[in-house]
Structure 1
Amino acid sequence: MTLTADHVARLARDIPDPGFQPVDGMVPITQADYDEIAAELIAQAPKDGLWVFAYGSLIWNPDFDFTDKRIARARGWHRAFCLGWDYRFRGNREQPGVMLALDRGGSCTGVVYRLPDDALDANIHRLLRREMSMRPTAFPPRWIPVETDGGRLTVLTFAMNRKSGRYIGDLSDEQTADVLATACGFRGSMAEYLFATVSHLEEMGIHDRYLWRLQELTAARIEAMPQMDAAETSAR
C-alpha cells in the first residue's frame, strides 16, 4: 500500500463531537422507529439464519456479536464513496467527508457475518443504531443475494438510495481523493477510514481496484501537504 499509518497520523486532530447535524428533509430516528425496523427485518430473515454483508468499516469494526463469518461476493453492487455529506463523524462543516456505500452495478467482495439466533433483536438494534441516524434514510437496509464458498445466501446489507438528496454519484476519483486527504471529524479522518478498510481487505486477500487507486491518490495528496508540528495539528 502507498497510504501508510504515518500519512494517517499527519491528519490526526482533536475534534469534539458537534452532535446531531440536521439535514434538510430528514429527522432523527426515534426508538420506536428502531423497534419497528428491527421487528420487520427479523420477521423477514431467512430461516437458515440472519447474515449481514459488510463491505466497509463493518469488516474491521463490526460492533455486534456473530457466530460465523465468510468471504462473500455481491453481484450487481459495488463500493463507492457516494453518500454525502458527513459533517460529524469523519468530516466537519469546513471539510465535509463522503461516506462509503454500496451502489448499483459491478460486483463487490466483502464479508458476511451470521448473527446469533438467540440474540437477534439486541444485535439488529446495535447494527441499526450504527448505520442509521436519520429518516428517511439515504442508506436503507435491504436483502441481497451473495455467493460464498459455503453456498448462496440471502443477506442483510445497507445500500445507497440513488433518489436520496444525499447521493453523490458524479465525483471523479481525483475529487474523491481530495476529500479523503483532508476531511476529519470527531471519530477520525477519512484517510484513516480508507487505510483501515483497504488494509483489512488486503489481509483477507480481497483486492478492490477502486479503493486501491484511491489510497494511492490520497497518499500522494497527503505527501504534497506541508508538514506541521504537533501544536499546529492539535490547533486545527
Structure 2
Amino acid sequence: MDDFWVFGYGSLMWNPGFPFEKQINARIHGFRRALCVRSWVHRGTQQQPGLVMGLDRGGSCQGVAFKVAPEHWPQTLHYLRERELVTHVYLEKYLRLHLADGQTVTGLTYVIDRQHEQYAGAVTVEEAVSVVRSAVGQSGANAAYVQGTVEHLRSMGIRDLWLEKVVKGIERETLGGADRPSGAR
C-alpha cells in the first residue's frame, strides 16, 4: 500500500495528533456519526461516564481524510491504536473514503463495536445533555468535546442537527437552567 489515509469524524478532525501531508473533506457510506460511546477514560470515568462519537451503522458521515506519509505511518498507526483502542470499544476498519476532490481511497477509521459494554446505543437529546454537561475525563470536559466537534463541523460547512440540539441543551443548562426545578424550564 503506497497511500496511507485516516478518516476522522469526531475529535480527530480538529485534533489529529499526528503528522499528515494532506487534509481533505471526505464522506463514508454505511456508517453515521453518533454520540453512542460511553467514555470511561477521555471524557468521563467508569463512575460517571461521558458520551463520545462513534461511527454506528447506517447512513453516511462527512468528516476529514488525512493522508499520512509512508515514513510516518508506523508511528501514526501506533499513536492511533493507543488513542482509540484504550478500552477496545472501537473496531479498526479500512473503509472506502469518497474525497471532496472526487477521488476514492481506502482509509483507516474506528467503528463502534455494538457488542461492547460501552456502546450506549441511541440516546435522546435530553439523555445526552444530562450525561455530557457533567462528565469529565483525562482529556477534559465532555461538554467541551461535543461543543468543539459541532464548532468544527460548522467551520467545514457540515450541519449535524442532532448534535447542535445537544449543544443548545448544554448551553441552556449551563446558563442557570440546571438549578431550577424541571417543571420550571
Same fold (TM over 0.5): yes
- Alpha-carbon separation, structure 1, partners of 2:40 and 2:119: 15
Q: Deviations over 1:175-229 (max 9, x none)?
A: 0111111111232111100111111111121212221121112212222134xxx
- Alpha-carbon separation, structure 1, partners of 2:166 and 2:14: 19
- Alpha-carbon separation, structure 2, partners of 1:88 and 1:144: 26
Q: Radius of gyration: which is bigger?
A: 1
Out of 24, 49, 67, the residue aligned to residue 96 of structure 1 is 49
Q: Deviations over 1:81-100 (max 9, x none)?
A: 1112x333222354321221
User: Which structure shows the higher strand fraction?
Assistant: 2
**Is 1:153 aligned with 2:83?**
no
Count of matched residue pairs = 177
Counterpart in the other structure of 2:11: 57
**Is 1:142 aligned with 2:69?**
no
For 1:66, give the aligned amino acid.
F
**Is 1:109 aligned with 2:62?**
yes
Q: How far off is 1:159 after superposition?
A: 0.3
Counterpart in the other structure of 1:175: 127
- Alpha-carbon separation, structure 2, partners of 1:124 and 1:132: 11
What CA RMSD, in Å, does the superposition of the two structures yield over aligned residues? 1.5
Q: Deviations over 1:112-141 (max 9, x none)?
A: 00111122111111111111123xx22011
User: Equivalent residue of 2:96, what SS?
Assistant: strand
Where has structure 1 moved over 2 Å in runs of 4 or more?
Answer: 86-89, 92-95
Normalising by structure 1, report the TM-score. 0.70
- Alpha-carbon separation, structure 2, partners of 1:218 and 1:183: 12
For 1:149, give the aligned amino acid.
A
Counterpart in the other structure of 1:18: none
Counterpart in the other structure of 2:146: 194
Normalising by structure 2, report the TM-score. 0.89
**Is 1:222 aligned with 2:174?**
yes
Counterpart in the other structure of 1:206: 158
